[in-house]
Structure formats: structure tokens, C-alpha cells
Amino acid sequence: MIDKLNFAQRNLPIKSISASNQRLPRRLVTGRLAMTIQNMTSKELRQKYLDFFKAKSHAIIASASLIPENDPTTIFTGSGMQPMVPYLLGEKHPAGVRIADSQKCFRAGDIEEIGDNRHTTFFEMLGNWSLGDYFKKEQLAWMFEFLTKKLSLDSKNLYFTVFRGNEELGISRDDEAVEILKAEFKKAGLEAKAVDFSERDGLNGGRIFYYDESKNWWSRSGVPANMPIGEPGGPDSEIFWDFGAELKVHENSLFKNQPCHLNCACGRFLEIGNNVFMQYLKTEKGFERLPKGNIDFGGGLERLTAATDNKSDIFQTDLFKHIINRIEQLSGKKYGESEEITKAMRIIADHLKAATFIMADDKGITPSNTDRGYVLRRLIRRAIRYGRQIGINAAGGLWTKEIAKVVAHDYQTVYPELQKNINKVIEKFRAEEEKFGKTLEQGLKEFEKITDGQVAKKISGKEAFDLYQSYGFPLEITEELAKEKNCTVDGEACRAEMKKHQELSRTASAGAFKGGLADTSEQTKKLHTAAHLLLAALRKVLGAEVAQKGSNITAERLRFDFSYPEKMTDEQKKAVENLVNQAIKDASPIVCESMDLLKAKKIGAHGTFDSKYEEKVKVYTMGRSSAGSESPFSREICGGPHAGNTGELGHFKIKKEESSSAGVRRIKAILE
């Protein structure tokens, strides 16, 4: 749903987008105070962050894929810490105990939030981690230094939140963080008052606020109560930037007549970063301390850029400037011209940027009716519908690929995979737009017919399903169209209909992924090892072109996606099973070595080599070489963890081999 509150900004003059490119200090008047801000491009900001932590002995690593490895908690990488989970749980990271990066992230859950000034589905998260090394004191002081000295953010506009504590969890309130922050503010000449957050009192003269676990606790699955056993998490301290009191209460605000506070949705305050003190593990007995405290910091690059520009609209930063310009050209409309146009342009810019990144990922996804492909389809089709609304494609030409070209160009030096895979991406956009374009007009007519003249009509599951089946309208688009007409949709019945037709098996919702986490239980480790043996066996049976396209491992089974154009025959499946079981029977030790990426490449390890950083990686070697060959059975770059010896695995069995998406097959397998 669109957060209406954020159109608080619509009555404010939209500053020229090109202003973000000026390098000279610019005088800004915020209403409360005047200040000088050193304008900085997002590229400079990203680099400053990495340089800052490099100077503090952090190894800079490349962004992991948007498609998570062995992490069933989300279908896309949604935070910088996700690829770090094994290391936060104690696995040794090959690059050491201090790591920093800029991670590509995508949050499918936010699709409907897009349209306001600060939400995006795709974003970059600047992250730094201490793996049992430094802790709270260093992190908060460094972050303060980075924000105020390196980004020249005025400490007067910085606010913090901390965890209020929870007796039931046995976790006390974070007075330690408060003391550290107070001292930092004092150095900057400010007296920082810490107060308990209360909605009634709002800011109440405070600069540091205690909130409960609904706001100041972080784990991949949210609040402590939702965390499964084996999941790490901890209290956090979030950082907010104040855009100024004039953005406060707005006539449509939910908070009308209520005092504004840091987490309220009026748009005045923007969360720009989160310091997580990752020190607990959920166990059967409650929360236990991890052997050592970890730091997990994440800061949204888009939001930090908005703060340094002091623009409350992230779509006006240089991370969106060229994309919005292109949408303006294509539509002949101007950003900011009306609320409707601004919202549509934000949705188009966000969705097509996200779709470009998802399709350009080395484990690239294609629009489809299942899993990630469905989310991607939804993004593209929703953008096309909004494009139509603001007059793009009047001449019937294909246009989504035009946005992809801008995205690939803008990010070429940071994410080279975009340019590398641009032709593939353009082709996917073309195919999807052509497909949807054929049915969109007719579908909209059909929708009009269904709702014609009926006030508050409830569109039946069957009608919504027909719009999906015949015209390619994802249910969510029908729901959105219905809302615009004050109608509703029987979504449940539609989903039941979809299930019945086995058209849609969406794993984006809970359910399909339930019951497992990127845990390090013995069985999960064994299945992870089996996944390596499986890839090696597939390459031996089907050919060396076979590449891994994704995997998902729980304690019960492994699921493995790989590139291959055809259904596997029974003989091929048997041959693969036999090879894996032979490697298990050989009972050879599994060897893990840490080495430079270049060396890993030289010795023939499989994995992604696109990194531009000189990284140390872990290489797992398993299984004996076959007669006449020098190479081991399997050698892959991987973070681990794995079993100690192939002999521990038991008997490997393929339960299913099926299509995952175009050109990608999926195997589900177990160890008996």
C-alpha cells in the first residue's frame, strides 16, 4: 500500500535533480538551521565507506549474488548479513575477522510500499562485520566518525535508537550503547538526552530513544518470538537522519495531531543505518550468548546519499537521476508534475532497476509463474502497467529495455555483470513485455467489463483467475486495479484456483520454505557436501557446461538448480546417483584451504570469478580423482560448512528432477 504520509513532500519544491551532481559545497536552508553540505556522488560515498573500513583493517569483499546460497529464509538476498550467517555463527571467514562490502539487496515484501520517498525493492547495503573481534564501543564510535567526518553529516541532525531490554528474554536495556553515543555527541558539542520512546510524547527533547524489540532487535526472521531455533540475532542501534521539522505532521498523516518520532512514517526522519550487536543464539532453552559478540552493520546507500544531499526523496539522488530522466523522455511527463506521475515514475524506476539486477545476476532468473520468476514477472508487469498510465508506449514500442540500458550504464564500474549480461537482460525484457503487451489492453477491457458500473464489487476468485490465466495479470495487479475502483478481490479463492491448476507455486510466501534455516546442523552440512558432489557428477554425466544456478538446503533435503536444456533421462539420473554414491563410498577426507581467488581459479575450482577485489576464498576439495585424471572429484569455492569426510554422508538419492525455469533444471535429493 502506498504510504500516503510521504506525499508530505509533494507540496515542497522539488529541487533540481541535477543539483546532486554539483561538487561544490552548497548552502542549504532546512527551515531550522542552515548548513553547508559537501555534495558527494553515491559512487564517492560507497568508496569512502569501503576505504574507511579498509583503513581499519577490514577486508573488502565483493557483493554476493542476489540469489542466496543455502539460505531458505528469503528467496532473494535481502540484507548484507545473509551471506555472512555461517561466519556469524562461528565458521572461519577466509578473509579474516573484519569484513566490509556493498551488497546488492532485494526485498520482495516491499513491492507494494514503493511510491513513497524512501522505499525501494532493490537497494545497496553498505556493511561491515566484526566476527568476534571488535564490538559496540568501536562500532558506534567509528560510525559516528564516518558519518560526521567522512560524510560531513551535521551531528545536530543525527538521532539514534537503542534496545529497551526485555526481562522475559533475560536481555537488559542497552545503557552501554547510550553512554557511548552520549560521549560521541558530547565531543561534537551536543548534550544528548536519552528517553524512553512514547508515542504520546514524541521527541520530548531526546536524541537517543529506547524502543522495544519490535524496532530494536535484528534477526533474519525479525523479532525474538519469530526466530527459529539456531538463528542468531541481537539488539541493535539504528541511526536516523532528520530532514527537518517542516516535513513533520502532514494533513493526511496517520500521525496527525500526534507528535512525530523517529520511527513514525511522516517522512521527516529517515533510517540510514543499523548497528546490530549480534551476540545471541536462539536455543531450546531461550537465548544463549554466542561464543563471541559480532557486529553487523548495514546502511542503505540510497538513503545515506539522500542524507548527504539532504534530499528527503531518494529518487532525486544520482542513483535514480538518469533512470527518471529516461522515464520522463519516454512519457513526455515531468517528475513532480503531479502526485500520480511521481508515484508512477518511482514505481517504474524501482521495479525495472530491480528486474535488471535480478536478470543480470550471474545466477540470472527469467520471468515465470513460479518462485523468483514470479516475483520478477510481477515487477516487470507492474512497471508496464504504470508506464501505460503515464503515457509511455503510446506508439506500441517496447520500452522496458531502455531502462535496463540506463541501469547497466550507471552501475557498470561497480557491478560489471550488468554490462556483461546486458544482451540477455534486454532479450528477457523484450520477451516479457511482448507477452504481456499482447494481453494487457484486452485484459484491462475485460477488467472494466467485470467491474462495470458495480459499486464495491467483489471480484470472484474465478474472475481474478481468468484475468491471470487468459491475460497474464498477476493477482496483485488485479487487486491493485480493484482498489483503484473501490472494489475488492477474493484473493483466497483465486489462489485456491491457481493451486488447483498447478500454475503457481509461489515460494515467496511462507510455506514452501518453512521448517529450515541456514543452520549448521550435522545433517545440513552433509547435504551441503552432497550438493558439491552432485554438481561434479552432473558435469561428468551431462557435460562441463552445466553450471549451478542456485541451491537450497534444509536438514531434510537438498534442492539444486543447474543449467541444462532438457529433461534428464532415467539413465542419466542413475549415473549421477552412482557417481555421488561412489564418491561417498570412497570415504575420502574433505579438505578446506584458504587461498587467493586467482590461485583458486588456477587450480580449477568452480565458483564465481567476477570479483574485482583481491579476495581470499575458501576452496573445498572432495572425493578422489578418477583413474587417469589429476583433478579431484569436486573442487569448489565455498564458504562452508561441510562434513569432514565423504564417508559420513550415507546413501544419496534423487527424489525428483524437474524444470525450474527456461534452461534451468531442478533436482531434489536426500541422504538416506
Q: Which residues bind ligand SER (CB under 6 A)?
A: 79-81, 127, 218, 274, 276, 296-298
Closer Cβ to ligand SER, 101 or 410, answer by number: 101
Closest CA to 353 of 125, 532, 124: 124
Closer Cβ to ligand SER, 243 or 297, answer by number: 297
- Shortest Cβ distance from residue 631 to ligand SER (Å)? 38
Q: Please work out, in degrees rounded to the nearest 5, the angle formed at the alpha carbon of residue 135 by the alpha carbons of 133 and 138.
A: 110
- Shortest Cβ distance from residue 206 to ligand SER (Å)? 22
Closer Cβ to ligand SER, 240 or 297, answer by number: 297
- Shortest Cβ distance from residue 49 to ligand SER (Å)? 13
Tally the residues of the chain. Answer: 672
Residue 568 is classified by DSSP as P
Q: Which helix (H) or strand (E) holds 222?
A: none
Q: Which helix (H) or strand (E) holds 284?
A: none
- Shortest Cβ distance from residue 130 to ligand SER (Å)? 12
Q: d(Cα 636, Cα 619) in Å, to the nearest integer?
A: 6
Q: d(Cα 302, Cα 241) in Å, to the nearest integer?
A: 13
Closer Cβ to ligand SER, 74 or 368, answer by number: 74
Q: d(Cα 291, Cα 279) in Å, to the nearest integer?
A: 8
- Shortest Cβ distance from residue 549 to ligand SER (Å)? 25
Closest CA to 178 of 219, 211, 145, 222: 211
Instruction: Report the relative pairing of strands 208-211 and 158-163 from DSSP bridges.
Output: parallel
Query: What would the grid cell of residue 436 be?
Result: 504481456
Query: Cell 517504474 sits at which residue?
Result: 348
Closest CA to 248 of 406, 30, 53, 466: 30
Closer Cβ to ligand SER, 127 or 373, answer by number: 127
**136-145 vs 175-187: helix axis angle to the nearest 10?**
30
The residue at minimum Cβ distance from ligand SER is 298
- Shortest Cβ distance from residue 84 to ligand SER (Å)? 9
Instruction: Tell me the longest C-alpha to C-alpha distance in the chain.
Output: 80
- Shortest Cβ distance from residue 219 to ligand SER (Å)? 8
Closer Cβ to ligand SER, 314 or 541, answer by number: 314
Residue 592 is classified by DSSP as E
Closer Cβ to ligand SER, 221 or 582, answer by number: 221
**Cβ–Cβ contacts within 10 Å for residue 244, how many?**
17
- Shortest Cβ distance from residue 203 to ligand SER (Å)? 23
Closer Cβ to ligand SER, 86 or 623, answer by number: 86
Closer Cβ to ligand SER, 219 or 305, answer by number: 219
- Shortest Cβ distance from residue 81 to ligand SER (Å)? 4
**Would you say 559 and 72 are in contact if contact means Cβ atoms under 8 Å apart?**
no
